[in-house]
Amino acid sequence: MQAIIDGFLKFQQDAFPKRSELFRKLATSQNPSVLFITCSDSRVVPELLTQQEPGDLFVIRNAGNIVPGYGPEPGGVTATVEYAVAALGVSDIVICGHSDCGAMTAIASCACLDHMPAVAGWLRHADAAKAVNAGRGHESAQARLDGMVRENVIAQLANIKTHPSVALALEQGRLRLHGWVYDIESGTIEALDGAAKRFVPLADFPQTRAA
């Protein structure tokens, strides 16, 4: 914990003064253009891997970068998506999975989660991805996990389209969807090409989008 406190003190003494004008503007308003949905995994830092400043990204993080389909009892993710699209007017939504994802590993390996019933219930929102991935042949456990990570991104993109605010914005042509998979070891990102239905290197195809 001391390292966290020391980090804040360094921020207050060094980083904050360098961005004082930025924080002055952010003190009363925000205008992010991107809703970035990713995993809670400590190794995935959206602002770091996209090199964005405070105020640039509106971020949702949870186990497995999951977006439950819209339903009669909306939760925190649903409310945050709605706020980002309807109130903040974001122009892009990124759903970003990552390598070595613990949540996807549990699903792909059919791990027993009886001791974590809340986690087990949450991961049911990835059942569509689980079914598709299980129906395919995989050469190894690693290939099965990699496939699960990608299918989950696809499934969560389908889920987010069920949200009324998202459906309306897509219909009006004012919202773009992106599906990414970040590789922790190499620092690379693969992006879903919605038209071709495959993941391609974002560095080679920077205009790629899912929808």
Give dist(CA 112, CA 126) in Å, integer.
Answer: 16
Instruction: Name the helix (H) or strand (E) containing 98.
Output: strand 92-98
Residue 165: closest CA among 85, 98, 110:
85
Instruction: Tell the residue number behind the tokens 């990552």, with chain if given.
Output: 98
Catalytic residue positions, numbered: 39, 41, 43, 98, 101
Dist CA 108 CA 146 (whole Å):
9
Q: Which residues contact 180 (CB under 8 A, 6 or more apart)?
A: 94, 95, 96, 97, 153, 189, 190, 191, 192, 202
